[in-house]
Structure 1
């Protein structure tokens, strides 16, 4: 470790400890556990430690990812140490979590970056110390800042969402509002751009009436949608970054008496989200597979820890499926019954 890194880690020691408390983290020894912010495999004496850092520890998507990572760790008889940001967008919390994991001697770290560029320096420091780093769900910018990425093709997921909305509108002119996620994340950018591509629109199109950031949070999304409806009461199509945002958006739409006016598309594939497709709250959602991302990440780190084998570099697509009970000609999709058999959360 060079002198600069040593100084930086020393200066941040107090911040790391404070952040660990905020994250609900307990340092894990062999066979120990750390619930909420951190969890340890109950395996025995394995020397292999795998770190997982999610954007938050409350979103069902990341809960499922953590559960799948724990299952994969148990199968491989290795220790999992799971941490999370305090909120969606908490880059500093994730920086501290990386430093925490490196200090605990992990061989590899899986991370869903809150900021695709803001996390790069911390990732580089970890890799410089021989730690394998893979991104899950959210790619870094640039992508080769990590050893590999296991994620949904979020541009394709956005295109599927937009294509369904466009097809469902038919000859009706689209009047689009957008509930985005967190600025600076590749997931947010790819889904947003993909949706507009599927709609055949751009950010500057007259059909796009407004956009609001929600951090993927249901309460923020409800407030944001209330604001959008005040500015654009004629809206008939809603893009949402995820299913919590879709639920918040629908609450505002229902309160305004416009539930028969606005088509809602989303991305996630949680059991709650698929139930909302079945109920007609969400017209369509694009299912992703967070458990697959986590399992592949754990397997990659275990292989590296055992014999130095690195995963295929670059982007590894873990797949997605459009779920709707109102299919559109020319678009591959599955219905909500299939979705409920394959959902997560």
Structure 2
């Protein structure tokens, strides 16, 4: 999704110190200091950094746990940091500086701002640190050594295509629970959904949009506001499954469960259960475990022999999950989804 908004940020020692106190950290398999500018870290001395958007969103919790397991398998130490909230660009800048100061050989990051983080990434790479993006691409894409992520435009398009087909002959009356303004993932999913629906930003069928930062509580409040302005809404786009859960809570409180069709993206085990229960009509499953494993593998290879991963975007795949399949869209049911959620 790529309309980006520049963010001001500074690189200050105070920010680094604050990050050390405020950002959550996990580690294992500690070793002695070491490592070279072009990979080749001694065995048992490999440090890998992970910087996620938040440390509370279930998607990033899964990614962190998967990265930890992959690091353990490779005898590496994982140092996991996160922004204080979705959109905390300065927190991520400070986290990168923190990791470089700790001597990591590689950093995996899910950028809050696809462009605002670039100076910090460049400084890390200039010091010989391999940097790969997970889940969210940078702008430009070659600001990192590689990206392992969902094709979020395609995921949004699948959500929109399913909603459009499921409405049948009913005229779409759409409201949208977006994520964070200017975020790459947010923009790709939003634009993909509109394409799948056959709509444009200014289509009269779009009755309202609210930003939620992908947060369930914010999404519930936002949906309450949207229903006040557009009580006739019959279709809801959601940036992720926490937003879908918040949106459904508001819809249920208004007694409109049978009126509003909900589509989403994430594919968590909880999300799949919500599809099975009829709370979400369909969700698009992502694979954060695969992202984390491929990121760790890339850094381990680089640290061992200096080989860098394939440059550019590496699609980790997505699958539409629904028990109400529609013609023309490939999908899997919730039984398959429960067996494969976030694998």
Report the TM-score, using the length of structure 1 for normalisation: 0.91
Distance 1:25 1:174 in 2: 45
Matches within 5 A, 1:96-111: 96-111=94-109
Report the CA distance between 1:25 and its aligned residue. 3.5
Q: Superposition RMSD on alpha carbons, in Å?
A: 1.7
Secondary structure at 1:330's aligned position in 2?
A: coil
Equivalent of residue 331 in structure 1, options 322, 329, 332: 329
Aligned to 2:189, what secondary structure does the other structure show? helix
CA distance in 2, matches of 1:240, 1:144: 29
Q: Say if 1:50 and 1:108, in contact at 8 Å, map to a contact too.
A: yes
**Pair 1:23 & 2:23 matched:** yes
Matches within 5 A, 1:106-121: 106-121=104-119
1:297 is displaced (CA, Å) by: 0.2
**What SS does the corresponding residue of 2:335 show, helix, strand or coil?**
helix
| Equivalence for 2:265 | 267
Equivalent position of 2:215 in the other structure:
217
SS of the counterpart of 1:184?
coil
Q: CA deviation at 1:344?
A: 3.7
Seen in structure 2, the aligned counterparts of structure 1 residues 288 and 191 have a Cα distance that, compared at 3 Å, is same
Correspondences of 1:236-255 after superposition (within 5 Å): 236-255=234-253
| Cα distance in 1 between the residues matched to 2:242 and 2:26 | 29
Give the conservation status (yes or no) of the 8 Å contact 1:221–1:249. yes
SS in 2 for 1:295: helix
Contact 2:28-2:72 at 8 Å conserved across structures: no
TM-superposed deviation, 1:18: 1.4
The answer on whether the counterparts of 2:19 and 2:98 sit within 8 Å (CA) in structure 1 is: no
CA distance in 2, matches of 1:319, 1:240: 19
Question: Higher RCO, 1 or 2 (CA under 8 Å, sep at least 6)?
Answer: 2
Aligned residue number for residue 278 of structure 1: 276
Aligned partner of 1:153 in structure 2 is 151
Structure 2 counterpart of 1:51: 49
Cα distance, 1:26 vs. partner?
Answer: 7.1
CA distance in 2, matches of 1:284, 1:167: 12
**Superposition deviation, residue 31 in structure 1:** 5.8
Match 1:305 to one of 303, 307, 322: 303
Distance 1:147 1:158, change over 3 A: same
Mapped contact 1:30–1:45 kept (Cα < 8 A): no
Aligned partners of 2:225, 2:113: CA distance in 1, in Å?
26
Residue ranges of structure 1 left out of the alignment (5+ in a row): 1-7, 33-43
Say if 1:121 and 1:338 are closer, same or farther in 2 by CA, change over 3 A.
same
> Contact 1:284–1:322 (CA<8 Å) still a contact in 2?
yes
Residues 20 and 26 in structure 1, CA contact (< 8 A), matched pair in contact too: no
Report if the CA contact (8 A) 2:93-2:120 is conserved.
yes
Aligned residues of 2:136 and 2:185 also touching (Cα < 8 A):
yes
Of residues 314, 338, 341, the one that matches 1:340 is 338
Contact preservation (8 Å) 1:117, 1:184: no
CA contact (8 A) 1:51 1:81 kept: yes
1:314-329 equivalences under 5 Å are 314-329=312-327
Quote the offset at 1:76 in angstroms: 1.1
**Shift in Å, 1:27:** 8.1
Q: 1:29 to 1:69 in 2, by over 3 A?
A: closer
The CA distance in 2 between the partners of 1:280 and 1:323, in whole Å, is 12
| 1:299 to 1:45, Cα distance in 2 relative to 1, 3 A | closer
**1: distance between equivalents of 2:245 and 2:130?**
37
CA displacement 1:112-160 (0-9 Å, x = unmatched): 0011111111111111111110000000111111110000000000000
In structure 2, the partner of 1:3 is none
Matches within 5 A, 1:155-174: 155-174=153-172
Q: TM-score, normalised by structure 2?
A: 0.92
CA separation in 2, counterparts of 1:272 and 1:48?
34
